[in-house]
Amino acid sequence: MEKMEAAAPYNQSTLIEMESITKLYRMGDTEVHALRGVSLTIEHGEYVAIVGASGSGKSTLMNVIGLLDRPSDGVYRLRGQEVSRINRNRQSDLRNREIGFIFQRFNLLARTSARKQVELPLFYAGVSGGEAKRRALEALGQVGLAERAHHRPDELSGGQQQRVAIARALVTRPSLLLADEPTGALDTKTGEEVMALFETLHQNGLTLIIVTHDVDVAARARRIVTIRDGEILSDERRDAPQAHHNGVVHAPEMAQSEEIFHALV
Ligand SMILES: Nc1ncnc2c1ncn2[C@@H]1O[C@H](COP(=O)(O)OP(=O)(O)OP(=O)(O)O)[C@@H](O)[C@H]1O
Ligand SMILES: [Mg+2]
């Protein structure tokens, strides 16, 4: 049995609670303090951008939040449960159930159709066969790619590849979506498509945390956390951003915005 933390009073609206999280990397004789005591609380449904210079600790923080890496010290509670020191199997179960990831380079498998990529996390979650196929096609439809289900990554544009990755992240119906530079490899227009999709996901209640170098991308979030040298430098909440100059938030293949999330979350 793992040691259980005494049940702390837990606010139901809180998804993530980090207290004094540190991450120390040792490389031979040198030590890198990637995180130096990060305390951060994120409520369900928040849309947060994490910004900061290269090497400031953004990806390290995302990896800790996403249970891909353990902190050296500190407390991390997800839905009120301390998760940084539970065993790796329980961490990956929790990750599979609660968290979707999106990376800059999409991380899609070559020579594998969009549908099969999106089915994969379902197999890990124990959903297979016809049900997995149905849900994968549904998720692809919801990111506007129903017509591309049989295409392989090399037969898709960059924005479409990233939308396959988003469908793959959402098909398990996670409560939290983590994106590390999701538009970093995209041109402005395709980046805009992905941001429009994030906006819809946010409006439908998903919790979103996005790491970005791009001020325009950060400006779409409702909260901006700035990291410097492994510490939080500022944490600002803001109102919904204004619509774009022409008054329209661009979402070419995603007109069914109301529907997008209902089956996903
Ligand atoms: N596995 C590792 N081993 C050793 N040092 C690491 C490791 N991963 C990250 N670091 C170091 O930790 C610090 C924070 O790295 P991190 O990847 O979190 O930065 P980042 O803010 O995501 O930067 P970028 O914007 O360039 O992606 C850096 O100094 C980096 O060199
Ligand atoms: Mg990084």
Residue 9: its pLDDT value, please?
A: 61
End-to-end CA distance of the chain: 32
* Ligand 1 atom nearest 23 alpha carbon: 12
On whether residue 2 sits in a domain, the answer given is: no
Collapse the DSSP code of 181 into the 3-class scheme (helix H, G, I; strand E, B; otherwise coil) and give the result.
Answer: coil
Which ligand ends up closest to the CA of 22? 1
Calculate Rg over the CA atoms of the chain. 18
| Position 5 in a domain | no
| Closest Cα to atom 29 of ligand 1 | 55
- Cα 109 to Cα 242: distance, rounded to the nearest angstrom: 37
The answer to the question of residue 225 being in a domain is yes
Which pLDDT score is estimated for 90? 92
Residue 254 in domain = yes
The helix/strand/coil state of 63 is helix
According to DSSP, residue 147 is labeled: G
**CA of residue 195 to ligand 1 center, whole Å:** 25
- Residue 52's domain is classified under what CATH number? 3.40.50.300
> Tell me: the pLDDT tens digits for 13-43?
899 999 999 999 998 999 999 999 999 999 9
pLDDT beneath 70, residues of the chain: 1-10, 242-265
User: What is the predicted pLDDT for the residue at 248?
Assistant: 43
Q: Which two tokens stand for residue 1?
A: 């049995």
> Given this model, what pLDDT does residue 247 score?
42
Total number of domains constituting the chain: 1
Asked if residue 31 lies in contact with residue 228, where contact means CB atoms within 8 angstroms, the answer is no
Residues having CB closer than 6 A to ligand 1 are 25, 27, 32, 34, 52, 54-60
Give per-residue pLDDT as tens, 1-16. 455 555 556 678 899 9
pLDDT for the residue 261: 40
**Six-digit token pair at 203?**
């409006």
In this prediction, residue 193 carries a pLDDT of 86
Q: What three-state secondary structure class fits 99? A: strand
The predicted-structure confidence for 99-122, as pLDDT tens digits, reads as follows 999 988 888 999 999 999 999 999
pTM of the model: 0.86
Domain assignment of residue 253, given as a range: 14-242+249-260
Strand order in the sheet with 30-43: 30-43, 14-27, 73-78, 81-82
